[in-house]
Each structure stands twice: as C-alpha cells, then as structure tokens.
Amino acid sequence: MTRLDFDALRHARAAHPERIGEILASRARRDLIQGDGRLFIVAADHRARGALGVRKDATAMANRYALLESLATALSRPGVDGVLGTPDIIDDLALLGLLDDKIVVGSMNRGGLWGSSFEMDDRYTAYDIDNIKRDRLDFAKNLVRINLEDAGSLATLEATAIAVSEAAAAGIPIMLEPFMSSWVDGRVKNDLTADAVILSIAIAEGLGNSSAYSWLKLPVVSDMARVMAATTLPTLLLGGDPVGDQDETFESWRNALELPGVRGLVVGRSLLYPSDGNVEAAIDTAAALVHGA
C-alpha cells in the first residue's frame, strides 16, 4: 500500500480485512529500550473516549483523515519512537505501512466517555493483553482514575490489577496513567497537585501480582522532583490538555525530563494539533527535548 493511500485503505478494510492481521504479524519490530534509552511516543487514543476537542475547537479531532496525516507526519520525523492508540487507529496505521520499527502501544480502557454520567467508569473496552500479544504490539496502556468518593473506582482498580498481572505473565510492558479524580459541577476533574499525583502513584504501582513490567505515565505538575522521588518505576510524561503558551509547555517538559527515572514523553493533541498548525516543528521540538538536539 502506498503511504497515505486512503482509497487502498478503504478497499482493504472492506474487501481484505485479514490484511491487518497479516501486516501486524510481519511488521519489523525494534527493541523497547535502545540508543539513549529514552522514548518519545505520540498518543492518539482520545477519540475512542469521545474526547474530540483541542483548545476551543470541540471537534478538532473529528476528521479521521487529518488525524492520520498528522500521525504520518509525526511518525516520519527523527526521534519519534512510536505511537499509542486504540485498535482502530493502530489498524489504520498498519494498513498505511507506518508501523515498521516503531514502538506500538495498545490502549486498553476507553469506556469512561468524556462528559458522560459514567465518565468515572474506565471500563476495559479496547485492547486486552491476549490481543496485544496476538497483534505483536510492544506495550500496553491503561487509564486509572481513582475517586475516593465513588465506590465504582474499586472495579477499575480490580480490572487494572488483572491487566497488570496478565501483562507481567505475558512479558508485555504496561503503562499505568493514574489520577486522583473527583466530580466537580457534574464533570470529572483530575487533581494535579503534587500530593495527589504522589498518592495516585502509590495506589497504581501496587496493582497486580507483579510490578516487573509496570511503567507510569504521569502529568507534569509543580514539584516534579518530589513526585519522581515517590517511585522507582520507569516513567513517561504525558502532555495533557493543550492549554496555555506552547513555549512554556515545552520548558516544563524540558525541566521534568532531566529528573531521575523519567524516560521520555507520551504526547498527543498538543503536538498533533499545535496552535500554529505546524505539526512537523512541534514534533521536532519535542523530539529534541527527549533525545537531544
């Protein structure tokens, strides 16, 4: 398939869906840790949770083809190690021939739809460990929002513990993205204070019957040195919702990337939909922060 040949993509999905499995079974893979030991992963699992907005544009991610073009640009740039997505995204990228020699991260739980009455129910609705192994993906990822006033969080913790245990048994690294969350005026709000992030770390890293393959995906908050002193797990920084000045965001990432235990970045919307529209420049700046100029 020619790169970004969307006619061929649509035809394969309709007439030859088996091609997805064949491509994933034969794609060239790379070691998870190589070179400088750091990772820059582009995230694209927002749509499956109903989160289509970027800044003030509530439907910024609605155009699937524009998203795939931005992902293709990102994956073509030096220093971009891989991509994180739900099966629909990963399958499209496989058919477009964009996954060779990349770290592919399967997103597992997208059930807590943005803005819904059940948003705290981060149910497992995408990949499971068996199918991450089936598709020869390199990494698993889950969202672990914890609301101490919502008994439903216990089900999320139990399901996540099972996923961590299954990942360890399969020898698949798993990326846990924990938050202490609450309902505020009918919406889920994540607590981004250092104390709350530290508490979320303590809870998340204890899930499962082995932590051997557990990683963390953490927001960049104030007092990140104290946050990183709370764990020995390898940690990737998440970009979060793109708000504020982009240069200030880059500077906060730069400072956090210098801390012990931080292995890189997992960023999506703020780089795929930069305020100035220059995806290539935004990606290259972030890659230089992770891997050096």
Q: Is residue 83 part of a domain?
A: yes
Mean pLDDT computed over 135-153: 96
In a domain, 146, yes or no: yes
| pLDDT given for residue 4 in this prediction | 86
1 occurs within a structural domain: no
Assess if residue 92 is contained within a domain.
Answer: yes
pLDDT 10s digits, 212-221: 999 999 999 9
Residue 122 in this model has a pLDDT that exceeds 90? yes
Q: Which domain holds residue 32?
A: 6-291
Quote the number of domains for the chain. Answer: 1
pLDDT value, residue 248: 86
Kindly report the CATH number assigned to the domain that includes residue 164: 3.20.20.70
| pLDDT per position as a tens digit, 226-282 | 999 999 999 999 986 666 678 888 999 999 999 999 999 999 998 999 988 899 999
pLDDT at residue 1, rounded to an integer: 43
The pLDDT, as a whole number, for residue 293 is: 58
Higher per-residue pLDDT: 133 or 56: 133
Confidence (pLDDT) at 241:
67
- pLDDT per residue as tens digits for the range 7-30: 999 999 999 999 999 999 999 999
Domain assignment of residue 241, yes or no: yes
Residue 225 pLDDT exceeds 70: yes
Q: Answer whether residue 233 is part of any domain.
A: yes
Phi, psi of 258 (to 5 degrees): -85, -10
> Which band of pLDDT confidence, cut at 50, 70 and 90, is reported for residue 2?
very low
pTM above 0.85, yes or no: yes
**pLDDT cut 90: percent of the chain above it:** 91
pLDDT of residue 65: 96
> Measuring CA to CA, which residue among 287, 291, 31, 35 is closest to residue 173?
31
pLDDT attached to residue 246: 80
Residue 82 inside a domain? The answer is yes
Q: What's residue 3's pLDDT? A: 63
